[in-house]
Structure 1
Amino acid sequence: MEEIKRLISENKLEEAIRLLDAYLTEQPRSDEAWFLLGKAHYKLGNVRLALNSYLQAIEINQESPAQAAYDMAIKVLDFYNKDMYNH
């Protein structure tokens, strides 16, 4: 996981996603991997995929940091959606 975290911090997101997909094939109950996958997707602007990954992590572990990330992403989406109606 440390290598994947490094890749995400270096914005090597496609490579991180590839490694996470492979890891999750073997370890589908890893809430940390689902959280990191969500983080990588979010940084790429793939909000829908990020939210789905965060939800997977939360389903496995309700104490996952994915809960805070999910809540923040929803708030950002709500903010932008409301802003669209104000123009």
Structure 2
Amino acid sequence: MEQIENLKELINQGDVDTAIEQLNQLLLDTSVENEKDILYYLRGNAYRKKGDWKQALDNYQYAIDLNPDSPAVQARKMAIDILNFYHKDMYNQ
């Protein structure tokens, strides 16, 4: 899907708000059912880049729920490791 490559590029370039907006629209589209795990994974990446760790973890979890072999598994683990290292008090909010 060419849109996925475009979204990856937006995220890599730091245009995460545009990427999130487009991902939100795509996730409402029933014709992309087979790729929803990838879309959630990308949205998780976009939120992570924004520094919104909760949204990132939630989106990674949605991707994992849809596809247990998703790259979100590794991304979520990495995000949790980072949070455990840098934000020990974040879990106490």
Tell me the residue number matched to 2:45.
39
Give the TM-score taking structure 1 as reference length.
Answer: 0.89
- CA apart distance, 1:80: 1.6
Tell me the residue number matched to 2:22.
19
Task: Name the CA distance, whole Å, in 2 between partners of 1:14 and 1:82.
Answer: 27
Query: Identity of aligned pairs, percent?
Result: 39
More helix by share: 2
The alignment yields a C-alpha RMSD, in angstroms, of: 1.7
> Gapped runs of 5+ residues in structure 1?
none
Aligned residues: 84
Give the TM-score taking structure 2 as reference length.
Answer: 0.84
Deviation by residue 1:22-54 (Cα, 9 ceiling, x = unmatched): 000114661000000000000000000000000
Runs ≥4 in structure 1, deviation > 4 angstroms? Answer: none
Deviation by residue 1:9-30 (Cα, 9 ceiling, x = unmatched): 1111000000000000114661
Task: Name the CA distance, whole Å, in 2 between partners of 1:28 and 1:48.
Answer: 24
> Gapped runs of 5+ residues in structure 2?
none
